[in-house]
């Protein structure tokens, strides 16, 4: 496979590992550090493409496992790729589904060849191999596609984590071999990211990175983080990994996290993030604001007629609706409430990333992050 | 109470009773014939105010019974009225809740004084009287408020319907007396519409109208239609009523109906409509189009990548999304699918009313409606 690199390193902090970069794709450039809203089934919960543009989403994440089951990846290929299918003419990334089939626990069987599993939708039997998952990702047609990995549970012994890592490395090699033989279907490049595993064992993380470097994927993800370990260990492992990852390639921590997690990880040299947290929390009546975490379903907010969720926010929700009305929508289970609070939370994450980029450029990222992190963590009134 | 009339009759068809009119309110004018999207709990299912503007909604309907229970009408008064509460700076109408408490069947007790009922939300006991419901509607602050009526079941004997009608007339008198003593709370007029009852008994409908005319409400609604009777009887009763209703006042048929029902009723002299049907059907995967009724969840639509729900529609959904994607969203129970199809259906109703108004003005409403009705009723491919 040709050696390609969509990532351009634009600037580096002199005081930390924070980086400012750009990822070039056929559907547009992505400014990093970036957060990717999750659209598992080719839809970001309740948000239209106009909403996504308005919150300045740059890249949307979808999931191969879910799209394989519904509507089926050949159908997405027939539509001309997931961007056309969902009416989003911008960059996309697909997760391979490794984590999802692994999570099926009692309904999957893992062998060196791949994973057999039973669909929870209709009980039908399926098998994912590194090759079949790459084929599915070719059909979906995201701009960035991910290795099929075997996840490592937390906690795990060195032996367990090592065994799991061996599978991931073998599968990554097979995936890259298959991709080299089978070009993209939709007329534009698909960049392949390898996934660093190894649990919380630094020597295995290092081994994983060294083996991946030899394979030279187009970018690097760190998997198996935020799986139950203390947050300080998560920071430490990511920090350790970025010491060994090639500086000229994009670095993506998968499935993390809170706004302050993102700021901590940016400082440790990470470029890309995704997480269901902002959308999920929005459904639960929890929003992130410049003044901290706001649980707006509290009774006291019923009378907040003149203040939006976040007084310093310029998202569609905060420009048009009060906390009192948002609380009413939440209590009445009105779908508009879920959509509006999801718009707010995703906009908040994307604005935070935009500010992070500006502060890296201005050279004061570390001061800004140190000030922001405790503000973000407190309870908003 | 002063005698006021927000309705202006602009034009009349020479070949039917179809009318073109305008209702003047403090929050803007409403061009009639008009369909009013239902926002029971001060929210039209999943639609933002921007969506409502874009589909050219002119007036939104909310429900006194539902808002009384949640969030409570004093809270809406505190917010400055329902328009401010929900961020919709346009005309609104509230139904009185008569139909809703009547529908509680085993959980309500009707006396001449009013209706005692048990909340299905928390089992708490409440009582609605004509006075208390007018007070609640003053607090909510809609531009048009409705009489508190006692609904007549279908079928009903003359005696049953007559007994029910007596209650409605007495309650309407008490409501108007209370309103005369208790001016609006939010600094703008609220127009009061009486409700014609009498079941399917023409002599009672006539009696109802004559009694209401003496009370001279600001407008007239026809209640107790589309409650199970054959559609031809519904048309006949509405047709009968509009022969006796004063020509210079707005006429509103409550809770009706399909797109072709609306065209039939416009021809019989009706100006205003509301119905949950377009939003409810959208949730069930049924949309109205210029080519007929489309059930887009059918398997054959999975491959419709290049055709929107309605090829002749310019709503946000049809401008941006394919039938294939809409079917996927529906199958995957993605909330975006419900919002988009609701946008389409409501836009379709409002566009139909816009076209109806243009054809009344052009003098060819009857020809147009005769052509449209069978087109609307067929199954779209």
- Identify the H or E element spanning A327: helix A323-331
Which of the 8 DSSP states describes residue A122? T
Residues of chain A with pLDDT > 70, as a percent, come to 99
Active-site residue, selected from the candidate residues B143, B218, B271, B274? B274
At A2, the pLDDT band (50, 70, 90 cuts) reads: low
User: Tokens 């309500």 correspond to what residue?
Assistant: B108
Query: For testing the chain B interface, which of A73, A279, A332, A344 should be mutated: the one with the most B CBs within 10 Å?
Result: A332
Q: Looking at the partner chain, which of A70, A329, A334 has a beta carbon nearest the beta carbon of B331?
A: A70
Tell me the C-alpha to C-alpha distance, in Å, between residue A46 and each of A49, A335, B181, B333. Answer: 10, 8, 46, 11
A340 contacts B302? CB cut-off 8 A? no
Take residue B246 and report the two structure tokens written for it. Answer: 């004063």
Q: What is the pLDDT of residue A72?
A: 98
Checking if the pLDDT of A149 tops 90, the result is: yes
Nearest to B87 among A75, A325, A337 (CB): A325
Average pLDDT over residues B170-195: 98
> How many C-beta neighbours within 10 Å does residue A72 have?
15
Q: Residue B21 corresponds to which tokens in the numbers above?
A: 């009119």
Q: How far B44 CA sits from the closest chain A CA (Å)?
A: 8
CB B353 within 8 A of CB B20: no
pLDDT at A381: 86
| Residue A219: its H or E element | strand A219-222
Residue B191 bridge partners (DSSP): B144
- Residue A229 to residues A154, A243, A255, B4, Cα–Cα distance (Å): 7, 21, 13, 70
Count the residues in chain A.
381
DSSP A380: P
- pLDDT (mean) for B298-314: 97
Give the closest of B85, B337, B339 to A325, CB-based.
Answer: B85
The answer for residues whose C-beta is within 8 angstroms of residue B90's C-beta and 6 or more apart is B27, B28, B52, B57, B58, B59, B60, B83
Question: E strands, B141-265, where?
Answer: 144-146, 191-196, 219-222, 251-253
Q: In the predicted model, is pLDDT for residue B379 greater than 70?
A: yes
* Nearest chain A alpha carbon to B326: A86
* Per-residue tokens: A327: 């609380």
Q: Closest partner residue to A75 among B43, B84, B302, by Cβ?
A: B302
- Structure tokens given for B280: 């409810």
Confidence of residue B3 (pLDDT cuts 50, 70, 90): low
Q: What is the spatial distance between Cα A360 and Cα A341, in angstroms, rounded to a whole number?
A: 28
ipTM for the whole complex: 0.97
The CA distance from A82 to the nearest CA of chain B, in Å, is: 10
Asked if the C-beta of B130 comes within 8 angstroms of chain A's C-beta atoms, the answer is no
Best of B328, B329, B331, B338 to substitute, by most chain A Cβ atoms within 10 angstroms, is B328
Look over chain B and give the mean of its residue pLDDT values, rounded to a whole number: 97
**Exactly one of A149, A218, A271, A274 is catalytic; which is it?**
A274
Confidence of residue B1 (pLDDT cuts 50, 70, 90): very low
A340 close contact with B: CB closer than 8 A: yes
Pairing of strands B92-95, B60-63: parallel
Task: Over range B165-176, report the average pLDDT.
Answer: 97
Q: Does the pLDDT value for residue B381 go beyond 90? A: no
Average pLDDT of span B288-307: 97
Determine the pLDDT at residue A3.
Answer: 57
pLDDT in tens, A177-220: 999 999 999 999 999 999 999 999 999 999 999 999 999 999 99
What domains sit in chain B, N to C, each tagged with a CATH number? 7-275 (3.20.20.105), 285-377 (no CATH)
Confidence of residue B380 (pLDDT cuts 50, 70, 90): very high
Hey, of A79, A80, A337, which one would you mutate to test binding to chain B, going by the most B CBs within 10 A of its CB?
Answer: A79
Query: What's the sign of the alpha-carbon dihedral B248, B253, B259, B264?
Result: negative
Pairing of strands A272-274, A251-253: parallel
Chain A contact for B320 (CB, 8 A cutoff): yes
Whether A143 is catalytic is no
Q: Are A44 and A338 in contact (CB under 8 A)?
A: no
A contact residues 84-113, partner B, Cβ 8 Å cutoff: 84-87
Q: Mind listing the pLDDT tens digit for each residue in A95-112?
A: 999 999 999 989 999 999
Set of chain A residues whose Cβ sits within 8 Å of the Cβ of B302: 71, 75
Q: Quickly count: other Cβ atoms within 10 Å of residue B188's Cβ.
A: 13
Predicted confidence (pLDDT) per residue in B78-134, tens digit: 999 999 999 999 999 999 999 999 999 899 999 999 999 999 999 999 999 999 999
- Asked if residue B193 has pLDDT above 60, the reply is yes
pLDDT confidence tier of residue A71, bands split at 50, 70 and 90:
very high
Query: What does the pLDDT average to over A32-45?
Result: 98
Once rounded to an integer, what is the mean pLDDT over residues A249-278?
98
Which candidate, A10, A7, A58, A18, places its Cα nearest to that of A34? A58
Q: Given its phi and psi angles, is residue B321 left (phi above 0), alpha (psi -120 to 50 degrees) or beta?
A: beta
Q: Identify the pLDDT of residue B48.
A: 98
Percent share of chain A, pLDDT over 90: 98
Closest C-alpha among B93, B35, B84 to residue B61 = B93
Distance between CA atoms of residues A121 and B299, nearest Å: 17
Q: What tokens does A168 get?
A: 């991931």
Burial label, A154 (beta-carbon count in 10 A; 0-12, 13-18, 19+): middle
Could you report the per-residue pLDDT of B247-268, keeping only the tens digit for each?
Answer: 999 999 999 999 999 999 999 9
Nearest Cα residue to B234 out of B275, B199, B194, B276:
B199
Report CB contact under 8 Å: A334, B45: yes
Q: List CB contacts (< 8 A) between B338 and chain A.
A: 335
Q: How far apart are CA A280 and CA A283, in angstroms?
A: 5
Q: What are the backbone angles phi and psi of residue B222, rounded to the nearest 5°?
A: -110, 115
Q: What are phi and psi of A71, to 5 degrees?
A: -90, 5
Backbone angles phi, psi at B159, to 5 degrees: -65, -45
Q: Residue A1: its pLDDT value, please?
A: 47
């Amino acid at each position: 496979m040709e050696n390609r690199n969509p990532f351009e390193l634009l600037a580096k902090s002199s005081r930390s590992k924070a980086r400012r970069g750009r990822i070039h794709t056929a559907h547009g450039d992505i400014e990093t550090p970036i957060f990717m809203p999750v659209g598992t089934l080719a839809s970001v919960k309740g948000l239209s493409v106009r909403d996504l543009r308005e919150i300045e989403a740059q890249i949307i994440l979808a999931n191969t496992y879910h799209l394989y089951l519904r509507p089926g990846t050949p159908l997405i290929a027939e539509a001309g790729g997931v961007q056309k299918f969902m009416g989003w003419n911008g960059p996309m990334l697909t997760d391979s589904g490794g984590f999802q089939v692994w999570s099926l626990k009692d309904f999957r069987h893992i062998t060196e060849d791949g994973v057999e599993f039973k669909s929870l939708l209709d009980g039908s039997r399926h098998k994912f191999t590194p090759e079949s998952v790459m084929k599915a990702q070719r059909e979906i047609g995201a701009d960035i596609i991910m290795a099929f990995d075997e996840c490592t549970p937390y906690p795990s012994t060195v032996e367990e984590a090592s065994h799991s890592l061996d599978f991931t490395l073998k599968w990554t090699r097979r995936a890259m071999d298959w991709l080299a033989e089978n070009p993209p279907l939709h007329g534009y490049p698909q960049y392949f990211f390898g996934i660093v595993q190894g649990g919380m064992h630094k020597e295995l993380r290092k081994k994983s990175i060294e083996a991946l470097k030899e394979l030279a994927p187009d970018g690097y993800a760190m998997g198996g983080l935020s799986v139950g370990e203390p947050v300080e260990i998560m920071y430490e492992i990511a920090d350790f990994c970025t010491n060994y990852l090639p500086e000229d390639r994009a670095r993506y921590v998968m499935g993390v996290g809170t706004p302050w997690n993102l700021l901590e990880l940016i400082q440790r040299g990470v470029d890309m993030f995704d997480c269901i947290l902002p959308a999920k929390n929005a459904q639960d009546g929890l929003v992130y604001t410049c003044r901290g975490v706001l649980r707006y379903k509290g009774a006291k907010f019923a009378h907040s007629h003149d203040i939006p969720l976040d007084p310093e926010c310029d998202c569609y929700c905060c420009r048009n609706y009060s906390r009192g009305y948002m609380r009413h929508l939440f209590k009445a289970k009105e779908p508009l409430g879920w959509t509006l609070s999801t718009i707010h939370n995703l906009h908040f994450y994307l604005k935070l990333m935009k500010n992070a980029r500006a502060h890296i450029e201005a050279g004061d990222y570390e001061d800004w992050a140190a000030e922001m992190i405790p503000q973000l963590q407190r309870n908003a009134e």
